[in-house]
Amino acid sequence: MSKLLSKYHVPDQDKRIQHITPQTANWEHVHFSVYELNVGESITLPASENETCLVLIAGIASVITLQQRFEKIGERISPFERKKPYAVYVAPNELMVIIAETQLELAVCQAKGKGNYPTRLITPQDISAEHRGNGNNRRYVHNILPDDQPADSLLVVEVYTDEGCTSSYPSHKHDTNNEPQETYLEETYYHRLNPSQGFCVQRVYTDDRSLDETMAVYNKDVVMVPKGYHPVATIAGYDSYYLNVMAGPTRKWLFTWEKDHQWVNSEEYAAKHASR
């Protein structure tokens, strides 16, 4: 099995189904965990030097920090409702308590913070949405914590891709500090499939193919992207959702297209598929 693929497992003693750290991923910036809680259960996350974005993937929760208390936030019971989520940005050095008001699927996205921004609630009204791509390369994006919103390191988005379509495509990379063309950003993909027995395919590869991994990704698996291109392809019958977390030395999303496939962005391709 690829070292870039973290398989789903039943909740451990800490109620985690995924736990990615810089040590386990062999990188520097991104921490990512997913928790599953039953009604009335709670978790306490210790204060650290990291800033945090708590994303309610599914369910309703109350979030308590040293400075804030957000009661019974959340609206969607499944991410495939395609409602915008609720999220909470938590400043560094703040302890967090999360209480499940319903069954709860919670993503904890972290990277090193500087303390520049206070803890705040991110509501659906704060989240922009956009369609990207055309034809069989179309997808729908919720920008939870994009680079035009306040944070020190984290970038967080969620993406919906219909059955039979590609996403994170044409292939692109962000593994080089070369502004203004490209920034170095580590990235995790937390995948959900609907129906849940489905799978999608994700490839991670570099120009010289020193890294070239192709993975069958099932529901609640995580793919780690330390470098290289990283497209996703869905399978007939199964819609895809994934939550992306990125962080690096500079909080800008600047990337480079793979030249061989950049033509898929062309007006000719868009016009060809406009009527489909």
Specify the pLDDT at position 29: 97
Sheet holding 61-65, edge to edge: 42-45, 96-100, 61-65, 69-73
Provide the residue-wise pLDDT of the chain in tens; the chain has 276 residues.
Answer: 899 999 999 999 999 999 999 999 999 999 999 999 999 999 999 999 999 999 999 999 999 998 899 999 999 999 999 999 999 999 999 999 999 999 999 999 999 999 999 999 999 999 999 999 988 999 999 999 999 999 999 999 999 999 999 999 999 999 999 999 999 999 999 999 999 999 999 999 999 999 999 999 999 999 999 999 999 999 999 999 999 999 999 999 999 999 999 989 887 777 777 655
235: helix, strand or coil: coil
pTM of the predicted structure, to 2 decimals: 0.96
Specify the pLDDT at position 275: 52
Sheet holding 186-194, edge to edge: 5-6, 222-225, 186-194, 239-247, 155-161, 139-145, 128-132
**Other CB atoms within 10 Å distance of the CB of residue 71:** 11
Closest among 65, 58, 71, 30 to 44, alpha carbons compared: 65
Strands 199-205 and 256-257: unpaired
Residue-wise pLDDT for 229-270, tens only, equals 999 999 999 999 999 999 999 999 999 999 999 989 887 777
Specify the pLDDT at position 269: 78
Q: Angle at CA 214, nearest 5°, toward 10 and 138?
A: 90
Specify the pLDDT at position 184: 98
Query: Cα separation of 55 and 66, whole Å?
Result: 19
41 and 20 in contact (C-beta within 8 Å)? no
Query: Cα separation of 51 and 13, whole Å?
Result: 24
The number of residues making up the chain comes to 276
Which residues are CB-neighbours of 63 under 8 A, at least 6 positions away? 54, 69, 70, 73, 88, 96, 97, 98, 99
Specify the pLDDT at position 245: 98
Query: Cα separation of 194 and 163, whole Å?
Result: 9
Cα torsion 123, 64, 61, 141 to 10°: value is: 30
